[in-house]
Amino acid sequence: MLALTWSSATRRRDLRLAAGLVGLGLLAALIGRRAAIKPDGREGKPGQKQRVVILGAGFAGLAAAKRLRRRQRQRVEITLVDKHNYHLFTPLLFQVASCAIDPYDVAIPLHRWAADQGVAFHRGTVEGVDWQAHRVRLADGEIAYDYLVWALGSTTKFFGNTTAAQHALPLKWLEDGVNVRNHVLERLEEASVARDQSARQAALTFLVVGGGATGVETAAALASFLRQVLPNDYPQIGLRETRVVVVESEGKLLGHMGQELATLALARLQALGVEVWLQARAKEVEPGRVTTEDGRSLRADTVIWTTGVECPPVVSSLPVEHGKGGSIRVDEYLQVVGQQGVYAAGDDAHYLDSRSDQPVPMLAQAAVQEGEAVAENLARLIEGKPQKAFHYRSLGNAISLGHNAGAVEIGGRVVDGFAGWLGWRLIHLARITRFRSRLAVALDWTLGYLYDTDTARLDLVPSQPDHTAGG
């Protein structure tokens, strides 16, 4: 009987799980409960309103739509356009790649989000704009606007390295996260039956190109994942047979972040057995082999590309002034230079902040601040009030460094180890835009902590009829 097989050890474990789940659920609820904004029932006919079209439902687009809806309810109708029907929470994408969370946890459905905010959502791919006619060209039609916001984000940049573009695995979109997850699991399956030593070595070597935040987090997560799953799921593979290598072109990890965080990250990666090659650049990426510019060669079937972004061609080809990576030059109000009533925010905007004399970094927190500032300035423009200059304020940095380790830097102070790991988790839970997704992530984390990591490899393509002959 089921009741009889519920041993005291199992009971204790299940009670721990239940307590953990309830605790995390309550915590996430406290952090993130926000009242959903319902459409304003008193609004007049849509035709009488100013049409604001926001291109891209990423961090900047969502922040702009949400703030504008709150700020100006009577005089605008807002349409959010995106080629996906979900908003992707990119900071946790490396956790999809390392089997820590499910892909659906970081994909926030936009139809529902938009309905809750009182905003129209149109799923479509932006292909261009007719500035004269005030119309955005989509793959499946057109959309008219009075005011326009460009927030289409960025795409992976391979710096002209055609071999990397062909053979490396990018980590930018949700499908990339799932692809890396499947690819890694497939290599482990191959290695566990491989007889040829060289093929086995290539299958068990994982190279991460880029020692920025995404590269460091991915490498640490991958190294922790291997430690966790090999003994139980792939006992034929010894941990010592695996190699995780980070290749970084600069002399330090974590790019724009401070030296203390960079030193911590390096020490933690090394403690996890990750090799860090600084001042090294991947040159040739062939199937099963990578060569660096300084002549090092490595047998590796997995090359994860986490470095470099640039604006998509639809943005970089616009007939406006451009900054780095094809981004759009904006003035202090985040208005596209020479285009009244057209704004850019997030990775698409190139803005040299006059206070710091630095370009605003391509980060989610910057995208959110810019999106909100665009909304405020748009509302002011529509109301005939003077606009406000935008200034970026860094809220600090948080980084995950594998199992039970992380670091948070706020106001120049760094907290690391378990406290840093907990801080990183809470910060990210609070930043996820939807309560249900927060709970899902918290649940996955709790299950991963108490039980084992889910290593199912789902190649999600439609099934084919099985014609296998029997007998």
Residues of this chain that interact with ligand FAD (CB under 6 A) are 56-61, 81-84, 88, 90-91, 93, 125-126, 151-153, 171-172, 213-214, 312, 314, 346-348, 362-365, 367
Single out the residue of 229, 218, 183 nearest to residue 203, CA to CA: 183
Q: Coil, helix or strand for 137?
A: strand
Q: Are 424 and 400 in contact (CB under 8 A)?
A: yes
Nearer to ligand FAD, 224 or 397 (CB): 397
Nearer to ligand FAD, 363 or 439 (CB): 363
- Rounded least distance, CB 378 to ligand FAD, Å: 16
314's CB contacts (< 8 A; 6+ apart) are 126, 127, 128, 152
Nearer to ligand FAD, 194 or 345 (CB): 345
- Rounded least distance, CB 315 to ligand FAD, Å: 8
- Rounded least distance, CB 471 to ligand FAD, Å: 50
One-letter identity of residue 222: L
Nearer to ligand FAD, 411 or 470 (CB): 411
Nearer to ligand FAD, 298 or 398 (CB): 398
Strands laid side by side in the 275-277 sheet: 169-170, 302-305, 205-209, 243-247, 275-277
Nearer to ligand FAD, 90 or 224 (CB): 90
DSSP 219-281: HHHHHHHHHHHHHHH-TTS-GGG-EEEEE-SSSSSSTTS-HHHHHHHHHHHHHTT-EEETT--
- Rounded least distance, CB 40 to ligand FAD, Å: 25
Nearer to ligand FAD, 22 or 352 (CB): 352
Nearer to ligand FAD, 348 or 444 (CB): 348
Q: Coil, helix or strand for 194?
A: coil
- Rounded least distance, CB 88 to ligand FAD, Å: 6
Nearer to ligand FAD, 210 or 448 (CB): 210
Pairing outcome for strands 50-55 and 76-82:
parallel
Whole-number Å distance between alpha carbons of 268 and 254: 13
- Rounded to a whole number of angstroms, the CA Rg of the chain reads 24
- Rounded least distance, CB 411 to ligand FAD, Å: 17
Strand stretches in 171-214, DSSP E: 205-209
One-letter identity of residue 417: G
Cα four-point dihedral sign 231, 235, 238, 241: negative
Nearer to ligand FAD, 94 or 234 (CB): 94
- Rounded least distance, CB 302 to ligand FAD, Å: 16
Nearer to ligand FAD, 188 or 221 (CB): 221
358's CB contacts (< 8 A; 6+ apart) are 352
Number of H helices, E strands in the chain: 14, 27
State the residue number with the nearest CB to ligand FAD.
58
- Rounded least distance, CB 400 to ligand FAD, Å: 9
Q: Are 343 and 192 in contact (CB under 8 A)?
A: no
Which element (helix H / strand E) includes 12? helix 8-32
One-letter identity of residue 299: R
- Rounded least distance, CB 109 to ligand FAD, Å: 12
- Rounded least distance, CB 195 to ligand FAD, Å: 36
- Rounded least distance, CB 243 to ligand FAD, Å: 22
Burial of 60 (0-12, 13-18, 19+ CB in 10 A): buried
DSSP 431-454: HSS-HHHHHHHHHHHHHHHHS---
